[in-house]
Chain A
């Protein structure tokens, strides 16, 4: 069996996940209010309310339609996640190695899913909800279509089950991945050393801003969630050129009717006849 954590340690991980997410969101939201990189959206509160609205739908769908139906153990973990036949289980890896393996494998799974979202039309129609935000800020990190989030959760859980990585690794990964997602989208001026020192390994905010460009040549690059390593390996990395005013959104979905919560939920159905987005 893979190493297990005590109930107390798991409670600590859960608290760090939720607290880290809320704290990072509050930190970046307040910072954006003082020193925005790009001209902020006219009504920040309305933008926040809309993106929070789709986030509530997404969380509800993921927990209500997916996690709630999985059989769970006494600690609330899905029983199928503790797979004794997982590919890594015979190696009896210690917890720190499992943690690193979980981080790397989870990031690769997200990279592949993200590429698939840009490659296949039916996935792109859902992922377009994230890209259709004409004002990328920290709230854009909350803006995902519920069905896309469901599929992504199922894929990550499947990877865990196949490899036999215990679910606490996934929670530990979320402590890093959730705030990092907000950090990538925040509309703030980061110190330049962040880009200089970390871009070789990490998907930095400047790389991700280019990914949110309305031009297909730019938004089909830089798919990495945390690591830029996968983009380097698979030839999808594009370094930002000289500094310029950021451009975001999808031209076909810029109208206000695509920006409401209802508009975002219905985007895959309404946009399916629009041609290229």
Chain B
């Protein structure tokens, strides 16, 4: 029991120590060019699907 408690404290200490040095997570965002490419890609994929579709 004491061992588990000590381990818990240790993990808390390690986590806290690291947390101070870790920068906040950034959310990846698309710029205007990326958004253009993404929308165009939807068209390309849709085109390939339409091309392969049976009549």
Q: Which of A20, A23, A24, A28 has the most chain B CB within a 10 Å cutoff?
A: A23
The listed residue (B39, B50, B51) touching A23 by CB distance below 8 A is B39
Chain B residues with a Cβ closer than 8 Å to the other chain, count: 19
Binary interface profile of A, 15-35, with partner B (CB < 8 Å = 1, else 0)? 110111011111111110111
Binary interface profile of A, 131-159, with partner B (CB < 8 Å = 1, else 0)? 00000000000000000000000000000
For A29, the chain B residues whose CB sits under 8 A away are 47
Shortest Cβ gap from A35 to chain B (Å) = 6
For B51, the chain A residues whose CB sits under 8 A away are 30-31, 33-35
A16 to B36, CA, bound (A): 7
Q: Which A residues between 158 and 208 are near B, CB-CB below 8 angstroms? A: 188-189
12 A-B residue pairs with CB within 8 Å:
A15-B35, A19-B39, A22-B39, A23-B43, A23-B46, A24-B43, A27-B46, A29-B47, A31-B47, A31-B50, A35-B50, A35-B55
For A28, the chain B residues whose CB sits under 8 A away are 47
The answer to whether B35 and A23 have CB atoms under 8 Å apart is no
A27 to B53, CA, bound (A): 13
B residues apposed to A, CB below 8 Å: 32, 35-44, 46-48, 50-53, 55
Given the known A-B contacts A26-B44, A35-B55, are A15 and B39 also in contact in the complex, defined by CB atoms under 8 Å?
A: yes
What residue in chain B is nearest A31 (Cβ atoms)?
B50
A12 to B29, CA, bound (A): 13
What residue in chain B is nearest A21 (Cβ atoms)?
B40
- Grouping DSSP codes into helix (H, G, I), strand (E, B) and loop, the B interface class, with mixed when no group exceeds half, is helix
Kindly state whether residue A252 has any CB partner on chain B within 8 Å. no
Given the known A-B contacts A11-B32, A14-B32, A35-B55, are A20 and B39 also in contact in the complex, defined by CB atoms under 8 Å?
A: yes
The listed residue (A19, A33, A188) touching B37 by CB distance below 8 A is A19
A12 to B33, CA, bound (A): 10
For B40, the chain A residues whose CB sits under 8 A away are 19, 22-23, 26
The listed residue (A11, A12, A16, A30) touching B50 by CB distance below 8 A is A30
A266 to B45, CA, bound (A): 37
Shortest Cβ gap from B18 to chain A (Å) = 35
Given the known A-B contacts A30-B51, A31-B50, A34-B50, are A18 and B36 also in contact in the complex, defined by CB atoms under 8 Å?
A: yes
For A34, the chain B residues whose CB sits under 8 A away are 50-53
What residue in chain A is nearest B52 (Cβ atoms)?
A34
The listed residue (A16, A30, A31) touching B39 by CB distance below 8 A is A16
A19 to B33, CA, bound (A): 9
A12 to B35, CA, bound (A): 8
